Amino acid sequence: MAQQFPCQQCGADLEFSPGAQAQKCPYCGHENAIPQSEEDIRELDFDKFLAEMEESEEVTEQVVARCEGCGAESSMDPNITSDDCPFCGSPMVAKGGSNKQIKPKSLLPFAVTRDEATKSFVDWIQSLWFAPNKLKEYTKNHQGLNGMYVPYWTYDSDTTSYYTGQRGEHYYVTETYTTQENGQTVTKTRQVRKTRWYPCRGVVWNTFDDVLVLASDSLPTKYIEALEPWDLENLVPYGDEYLAGFRTESYQLGLGPGFHKAQDIMDDDIRRSVRYDIGGDEQRISSVKSQYDNVTFKHILLPVWISAYRYQEQVYRFLINARTGEVQGERPYSWIKITLAVIAGLAVVGVIAALVANK
């Protein structure tokens, strides 16, 4: 759970003020500047950490709440034992006991304010074509945005990849063929492309920095990935001050499985390197075996505004990158509007066809 910070003037809990590098009292407006840490954001040794994780100082016991609907686990405000899930709107209840979590090392603070996020949500809903009218009316007074820090892993690695494959080189041959021209059979020639294939093998080296892997299963991957890119160069060392007034999701994808996903991401770049190394006009890759060295990682938190709104018993998620303002979301459709639009379109086509036929 995030630490509470009482206001020095009125005693209320301070909240982090997006974009201000300060905490602000929601009642009297008093601000408390957040001390800027001089600490470097360290990468942790992946293999060493896995071997010593149980005894590591980087692991902490954490009490979380679990959603009865989607299974998401996130922090709750102190003294609150139940709430609505920010990911799907279902009830959340505090779990008994606690679980071990790797401490986050850094984060990107919120930069987009709640008012800015709410306006983006309403503007997005109002701009949707074929959205039900009731949905637009419902969202005009919608206040269900939640500021959430979403867990991610980043991985660094040097890779050595041994490959086998084939290099294809194009060449052209002259081909004779017959065709009909003006009722006569004529003979012509044309150039036909062929490919010679040569076996090859080799080694390529790559260096990867901050391969980003989502550690949450609670958000639709298609939309959360569309919020990228993130300005990871502006990460700051973790501090409870930044979490005040927001919620934090616990990671569901562990450190080891997260690296497997990172390897899949790296594999795309490795194969591009292999194709470049094979050269020629075409390439076939038969096998690639990669060795991963000097693997390090960070557990980081990235800020997202989330709205889980319900329409006709269906849950839809709306997301905002709280650094850039990038908007992504799920939406319902009005099939009545779509049907009427199709009928109107067919009617217009029919009128145009009739006018053309009468000319």
Dump pLDDT digits (tens) for 127-156.
666 555 555 555 555 556 788 899 999 999
**Contact (CB, 8 A) for 217 and 46:** no
Is residue 109 reached through a cis peptide bond, with omega within 30 degrees of 0 on the bond before it?
A: no
Any idea what DSSP says for residue 249?
A: B
With CA atoms as reference, report the closest residue to 92 among 113, 109, 112, 72.
72
The residue with tokens 């991963």 is 292
Dump pLDDT digits (tens) for 301-325.
999 998 876 666 667 778 899 999 8
Any idea what DSSP says for residue 262?
A: H
Q: Give the span between the Cα atoms of 238 and 37, in whole angstroms.
A: 9
Task: Copy the structure tokens of residue 264.
Answer: 């899949």
pLDDT at res. 334: 47
What 254-257 contacts at long range (C-beta under 8 Å, 24+ apart), as own/partner pairs, is 255/46, 255/49, 255/50, 255/53, 255/102, 255/153, 255/297, 255/299, 256/50
Task: Copy the structure tokens of residue 53.
Answer: 């994780």
Output 136 or 237, whichever has higher pLDDT.
Answer: 237
With CA atoms as reference, report the closest residue to 255 among 81, 85, 46.
46
- Identify the bridge partners of residue 317 per DSSP, sorted by sequence position: 308
With CA atoms as reference, report the closest residue to 169 among 279, 325, 62.
279
With CA atoms as reference, report the closest residue to 292 among 268, 260, 255, 257.
260
pLDDT at res. 204: 96
Burial of 244 (0-12, 13-18, 19+ CB in 10 A): buried
Dump pLDDT digits (tens) for 158-194.
999 999 999 999 999 999 989 888 888 889 899 999 9
Q: Give the span between the Cα atoms of 171 and 215, in whole angstroms.
A: 49
Dump pLDDT digits (tens) for 43-58.
888 888 888 776 666 6
Task: Specify the pairing of strand 106-107 against strand 282-311.
Answer: parallel
What are the distances in angstroms from CA 191 to CA 171, 276, 349? 10, 28, 45
Q: Residue 123 — φ and ψ, nearest 5°?
A: -60, -40
Its pTM stands at 0.77
Dump pLDDT digits (tens) for 17-41.
787 777 777 778 777 777 666 566 7
Residue 173 host element (H or E): strand 146-181
pLDDT at 280 > cutoff 80: yes
